[in-house]
Structure formats: structure tokens, C-alpha cells
Amino acid sequence: MLLNNGQFNAKQVLSEKVINDMFTPRTILWLGNSMRKAEANFHLYGLGWFMYDYQGQKIIYHDGGMPGYIARTMLIPKENLGLVILTNEMNSLPQALSLQIIDLFLDNDNVDWAADYLERVNRYKEQDSARKNEKVENQITGTNHSLDPVGYTGKYNDNSYGEAEIKIVDEALVLNLPTKGFESEMEHWHYDTFKVE
């Protein structure tokens, strides 16, 4: 439908004007590291869609995600090619995989995207480790939380992340994020800050 001017099974689902409006550049964006590596000449934003050039092709894409999943949609209108990558991990796999697939389709092997993104992941892990070490160094020991444990219990709601519940299990505070399938004991860190893993 997005590559067919809004038509699906010979029915006009979205008007051609809406499709054109979505894919019309509105904002010029910075060329990031992966864009430079791809030798892109432009990086633009339309209405919910990003655009850049790669190997002589206009690439249109949209990323989205929340903790626990990432989705990436890429379109190459000139080739009538669209791809969607869905993952339950919070990492760079969708970006690397989408570029690798496009390279296979375009018969291009200039960049090993898997190796490029692996290098980035390793660099991120080092930075993340340094951040965690800094938090440990800045922990203020010998403090207490301001409420009795029962004072933290209850249900909390956030429009983006959904419901969270804090309860007491075996005399310990436990955080549960039912929509994410996440549960962790809350370890007192300092003052009213708790650590979950």
C-alpha cells in the first residue's frame, strides 16, 4: 500500500495526497555515523518517515520501539521493495540487518554492517559499564529510605510504559511490570532510590 500510492487489492485505502505528504521532506537532519558510512548525501524527515539516499536509491524508513521490542520498516520505492524487521531485543540488530538485506538486494558489499554494528555494540557496552561503575562510585552508603516498605507498595501507571506494581514478597519490595513480563526485587541503593535488575 505504501509503495502503491495508497492502494491495496485495487482499493484506495489512503489517498495519494496523504502518501505524498508523508514522504515529502519537512526537516533536514544531521548525517549520523551510519549515514556517513553509507555515503549518504541527505537525511530528511517527512511526516513520521525518515529519508536518505543509499547506493543511488531513496530509502524511506521508520523506527519505533519500547522497552522489550523494536520495529523497523524500510521502503525503496524505485525498487518496489519494502521490509519490516521486528525484534524483542533492545539492540542495533534491526538497523544492521536491514542494511545487510538492502545490500544483498542491491548487490553491494562495500560495508560489513554486522561487523560495523558489532563494533558499536561493544563500544556501547564499554560506555555502559563505565556508567554503571560511576553509579557505584557515587552511591551514598549508610542512608535509609524515607518510608516504611509498605509505603512504596501500590499500582502506578504511565501512558508510555503501562502499569507497574510494587508489592512485598517474602519481606522484600518487588517491582512488577506485567505488560513487559518483568519482575525484580528492589534493592535499596540510597535514600529513596532502589536498584532493580
pLDDT tens-place string over residues 82-129 = 999 999 887 888 989 999 999 999 998 888 988 988 998 899 899 999
Strands 57-66 and 50-54: antiparallel
Query: Is 46 a domain residue?
Result: yes
Nearest CA to 74 among 125, 33, 118, 34?
A: 34
Residues 96 and 171 in one domain: no
Which one of 118, 140, 173 terminates a domain?
A: 118
Q: What's the structural domain count of the chain?
A: 2
Task: Show the domain range for 176.
Answer: 149-195
Question: Do 99 and 189 share a domain, yes or no?
Answer: no
* Mean predicted confidence (pLDDT) in 137-148: 95
Confidence of residue 34 (pLDDT cuts 50, 70, 90): confident
Does one domain contain both 110 and 172? no
**Domain-located, residue 72:** yes
Structural domain includes residue 90? yes
Contacts of 93 (CB under 8 A, 6+ apart): 70, 85, 87, 117
Is residue 114 located within the same domain as residue 155? no
* Stretch 124-153: mean pLDDT: 95
Q: Are residues 112 and 161 in the same domain?
A: no
Interatomic CA distance for residues 182 and 126, integer angstroms: 25
Do 104 and 12 fall within a single domain? yes
**Residue 32 confidence (pLDDT) above 90:** no
Q: Same domain, yes or no, for 111 and 153?
A: no
Q: What is the model's pTM?
A: 0.68
Give the list of residues 6+ apart from residue 67 with CB closer than 8 angstroms, or none.
Answer: 90, 161, 180
In this prediction, residue 157 carries a pLDDT of 94
**Do 46 and 105 share a domain, yes or no?**
yes
CATH of the domain at 165: 2.40.128.600
pLDDT at 67 exceeding the cut of 80:
no
